[in-house]
Amino acid sequence: MHTATERMNTEKHPLEPFLPENAKILMLGSFPPKRERWSMDFFYPNWINDMWRIMGTIFYGDKGYFEVKGEKCFNKEAVVEFCLEKGFALYDTASEVNRLKDNASDKFLEVVTPTDIDSLLVKLPSCGALVTTGQKATDIIVSTFGCEEPKVGASVVISTAAGDIRFWRMPSSSRAYPLSLEKKAAFYRAMFLCEGLLLDDK
């Protein structure tokens, strides 16, 4: 049970869910870092988070594809256009949190209000897969849907308000996760191939 003081210190999610009508995949992290760590006003905004470098590597053969040259920031317009074109929906598994330490680590995030994942999925009629991009996000999906926890790079089928859907667990794009960018990209590439977002393994 949370005290009044703890409630006052909670953070509500600063972004609206990004839910393109054509989305084939819903990607879910845990919760954004504090705003002073943002390099753009969108998901995975931390300059030292490698999500958009993973995407650049897979789809364009260039890990710096979404970076603004000469600046430590990502090109939000290019990222949004890419997500719309490929059919990526984005949000997080927590809508309200307490930060137990002043950093961006999932380990020190206390989830106050989990996101209503079912309500997101019913808005995405073409979505065939839910993808978690970290351990805490995975834990929340497992707890919410009472499903088996997939191994990293694997999937299980879960039953949701929108019907059965594949739940993929991907390696975290945080640099704290002990895997090289190239190896992380290989996991994501294999998942995109299975979901039909890539036509071949180039």
Instruction: Give the global pTM.
Output: 0.90
- How many C-alpha atoms does 185 have within 13 Å on its Cβ side? 18
Give the Cβ contact number of residue 158 at 10 Å.
Answer: 19
Q: What is the DSSP letter of 67?
A: B
Phi, psi of 80 (to 5 degrees): -65, -45
SS3 of residue 19 by DSSP: coil
CATH code linked to domain 20-194:
3.40.470.10
Q: Are 32 and 38 in contact (CB under 8 A)?
A: yes
CA quadruple 184, 59, 30, 154: dihedral sign? negative
- Tell me how far apart the alpha carbons of residues 15 and 186 are, in angstroms, rounded to a whole number: 29
pLDDT in tens, the chain (202 residues): 454 444 457 889 999 999 999 999 999 999 998 889 999 999 999 999 999 999 999 999 999 999 999 999 999 999 999 999 999 999 999 999 988 876 556 677 788 999 999 999 999 999 999 999 999 999 999 999 999 999 999 999 999 999 999 999 999 999 888 899 999 999 999 999 999 998 765 4
Tokens encoding 55: 């995407």
